[in-house]
Chain A
């Protein structure tokens, strides 16, 4: 048997573009500018803010609510509330957390308990790989970079299925932190949980997602 130790050294994973606490965030600045102008009566800014809010609300509601009809209702409720609320905003930075909470509440209000949704959070032992998994590692494919893989339609379909299988609290954290790029502190604020709790849920969710994606690709 050929000795292969060290022959397949794992390249250090490239860093993603992490959202550091307190770092400049163009999306956040743009939101604040739009909110300020819309609150001052700028109709064009209000229009653009509603468009942005619509996209965010749709993504959140389809990810968190799951059922398409419920998601669309929640999105519309959030949009109407945005329209009514925007003139009263005194602190533009509070808009985004407010929007997420509004969509989340609209989802919860209209949500019907779906069959098959996990009713509890998983322990880390359940989502960490066992020794069997560790001894059969899936080699990274050097021919495809992560960007190309992310663009792959099949991967995205599998990801949506995997997201739908996540317990709701994990899904919300993945959405806010991973998809919307909120900081850990902002996610904690929106969901009313501690920052440590955000990090723990996010890690467990990632482990479960990658495990589901791995199973689906076999």
Chain B
């Protein structure tokens, strides 16, 4: 069994900041530092691409709508509650 070794210190620092970088939440100085690193480090650049892809997929998942049957059952239950009057 191989034990994964830790990434180099510089990569580790960048990996910790990738989410904030992708959200535009870093200071200008840190953003430039991360960008410089991503331009030269293929590994961190690939990780940034995968994180971005994950974020985009999550955004798309947020557009999901309930199936019609679920909506119908919910409407029936709410209608029944409304018909019964205030709790």
Contacts and interface: CB of A to CB of B under 8 A. Distances in A.
Contacts of A39: none
A206 interface: yes
B9 interface: no
Contacts of A137: 42-43, 45-47
A213 to B, nearest CB: 6
A206 B19 contact: yes
Interface in B42-87: 42-62, 64-66, 70-71, 73-74, 77-78, 81-82, 86-87
A180 interface: yes
A63 B4 CA distance: 31
Contacts of A207: 15, 51
Given A10-B39, A84-B87, A128-B7, A72 B54 contact: no
Nearest to B86: A84
Given A83-B81, A130-B6, A151-B60, A18 B24 contact: yes
B62 A59 contact: yes
Given A15-B22, A210-B50, 12 more contacts: A13-B22, A13-B49, A59-B66, A130-B4, A134-B44, A137-B46, A156-B61, A159-B57, A181-B62, A202-B19, A206-B55, A209-B54
A131 B6 contact: yes
Interface residues of A, number: 63
Q: How large is the interface on B (under 10, 10 to 19, 20 to 34, 35 or more residues)?
A: 35 or more
Interface stretch (A30-38, A96-104, A109-117, A142-150): A142-150
B60 to A, nearest CB: 4
Given A54-B71, A72-B70, A134-B43, A210 B59 contact: no
Contacts of B56: 16, 146-147, 149-150
Nearest to B39: A9
A120 interface: no
A79 B52 contact: no
Q: Which of A10, A146, A147, A160 has the most CB of B within 10 A?
A: A10
In order of increasing CB-CB distance, the 7 nearest A-B pairs are A130-B4, A10-B45, A179-B62, A137-B46, A150-B60, A178-B58, A146-B56
B75 to A, nearest CB: 8
Contact of B58 (A13, A179, A203): A179
